Structure 1
Amino acid sequence: MTEKLAFYLDYPFVRYAIVVGLLIALVSSLLGVTLVLRHFSYIGDGLSHVAFGAMSVAVVLKLSDRMLLILPVTILSAVILLKSGQNRRVKGDAAVAMLSVGALAFGYLTVNVAGASANVSGDVCSTLFGSTSILTLTTGEVALCAVLSAATLLLFLLLYNRLFALTFDENFARVCGISAEFYNLLLAVIIAVIIVLAMNLVGALLVSALIIFPTMAAMRLFESFRAVTAASAAISVSCALIGILVSVLAGTPVGSTIVVADALAFGLSVIAARLRGGV
């Protein structure tokens, strides 16, 4: 198995997939702690469906760079969802459900009616559940992912104290002079960027797993915000690496394999927490 793995690692596309996968897993887990604690984790699922709808339109329009359409649409939707959470007539969860289902249906209808590919079912399935696109990345796509991931990581480090304050007590943060509206808007934009990046890794329907599983596993083992954030990042990156390597060796779907690794990590954390509590 070691020789087989070394053989595959000689290929640039495998190394590209590992680099991109680890970067996406890292930034997803860092923001995941804030999203889960603020009960915003469902936004990731809704935005992934919006990104699928935008991708369907980009495919039909035959855009050379689909990011030019997918990223702005997803960011705009994130802002709309954030604002809707403050709307008394349309609650946040209802807005996410409507936008999510509507975008998913619109995307599938667009591909079926105007799609040029003969294998519509295969294209839709690979987009929703992940495909081999992570293994066909170009140098430019890897560079774009690295830049966006580095920018997200830098923003997280710079805004760590503010995010901490907003996560646990938004009213206290306002009293301290922190503009909650601005940072919530910035958080929505960052979430949208992460969702778009993660679609190539695990597909539209499995994106939320990258945000939720590592965070929930870390929260079973640690109590402080900083410890949970660090543990979530370590678990997410480890599971992404294991998932990609297993996928390459066994020929399984990349996205599903990573999510299963995350789910197993959560299961192990539950067992570890119970054993520690018993002792």
Structure 2
Amino acid sequence: MTAILEKIAFYWTYPFVRYALIVGVLIALCSSLLGVTLVLKRFSFIGDGLSHVAFGAMSIAAVLKLTDDMPLTLGVTVVCAVLLLRTGQNTKIKGDAAVAMISVGALAIGYLLMNLFSTSSNLSGDVCSTLFGSTSILTLSKSEVWLCAGLSVVVVAVFLLYYNKIFAVTFDEDFAKAVGTKADLYNLLLAVIVAVVIVLAMNLVGSLLISALVIFPALSAMRLFQNFRSVTVCSAVLSVSCAVLGILVSILAGTPVGSTIVAADILAFLICSALGRARGGETG
């Protein structure tokens, strides 16, 4: 144990480790706050769909040889989040069908573009890194850390500022509309925030694993608590703890960052499920 602590202390002297932990904690926090609402509203699949859209946008940025793909990726993902919301509500293409169409379409087009226009000699490696996460979380620049911090502060601030409205829309949207709450506006706000979090999480866990950051902490917390506020706080604590643990284990053991974080989330879920059954307080 002492040797492990000494090794962690040694790595802590390197800026890239501190940057990775800061970004990992911020992304995990934002994902967990939104995760509770998305799971309760049965919208968790939207995160998966938007992650595929982000992959397609990153592929377009790569084809255009953009040095900074963040603006394009963020813009395209936000637009698709709005389209998913509008398409699911106002046309004959409902909910999961709309997500499936945009998700699979973006994934296919992104991979097709990378095959047709890529100049990389390791196309399979590039695709795998984008889908499952890569070591880019360990090579963040100070400007990228500040950008992530700024967007994360906005996400957390919006969630806290509109907490009561989000709570109302989450549990009874029809009643919220009846008492004058602009439910459609807050659903739109949630969709945009989810898009921002998805783009931020791409470098951490990859597009195929992002949903785990949203779903697992929320489901784990629901095994222990029934109150919305308690579930949200517990989800945030679990998500941040698993992100820190996953990043540290990844650095020490040389394992993939994204997969290691998700493995930590799965372990936390199993532990919370066992604790919930032991005390007879499992809530579903």
TM class, shorter-length: over 0.9
Match of 2:279, SS?
helix
Shift of the alpha carbon at 1:252? 0.3
User: How big is the shift at 1:139?
Assistant: 0.5
Q: TM-score, normalised by structure 2?
A: 0.96
Q: In structure 2, how many angstroms separate the alpha carbons of the residues matched to 1:68 and 1:126?
A: 20
Corresponding residue for residue 39 of structure 2: 36
Superposition pairs of residues 54-65 of structure 1, within 5 angstroms: 54-65=57-68
- SS of 1:277's equivalent in the other structure is coil
- Write the distance in 2 (CA, Å) between the matches of 1:13 and 1:176: 49
TM (norm. structure 1) is 0.98
Which consecutive unaligned segments of at least 5 residues does structure 1 have? none
Task: Give the aligned partner of residue 198 of structure 2.
Answer: 195
What SS does the aligned partner of 2:255 have?
A: coil
| Alignment match of 2:156 (pick from 144, 153, 156) | 153
Q: Answer with 178-187 or 129-138: which moved more.
A: 178-187
**Matching of residue 249 in structure 1 with residue 252 in structure 2:** yes
1:17 equivalent in alignment to 2:20? yes
Counterpart of 1:52, as a letter, is F
Structure 2 distance, partners of 1:116, 1:95, is 33
Per-residue CA deviations over 1:108-135 (Å, capped at 9, x if unaligned) read 1111110111100000000000000000
C-alpha distance in 1, partners of 2:221/2:229?
11
The letter of the residue matching 2:125 is G
What pairs up with 1:62-211 in 2 under 5 angstroms?
62-211=65-214
Q: Distance in 2 between matches of 1:258 and 1:26?
A: 13
Q: Secondary structure at the match of 1:35?
A: helix
- Equivalent AA in structure 2 for residue 221 of structure 1: L
- Aligned partner of residue 85 in structure 1, secondary structure: helix
Deviation at 1:88, TM superposition (A): 4.5
Deviations 1:114-167 (A, max 9, x none): 011110000000000000000000000000000000000000000000000000
Partner of residue 229 from structure 1, selected from 229, 232, 235:
232
Structure 2, unaligned runs of 5 or more: none
Q: Which residue of 2 aligns with 1:49?
A: 52
2:215 to 212, 217, 223: 212
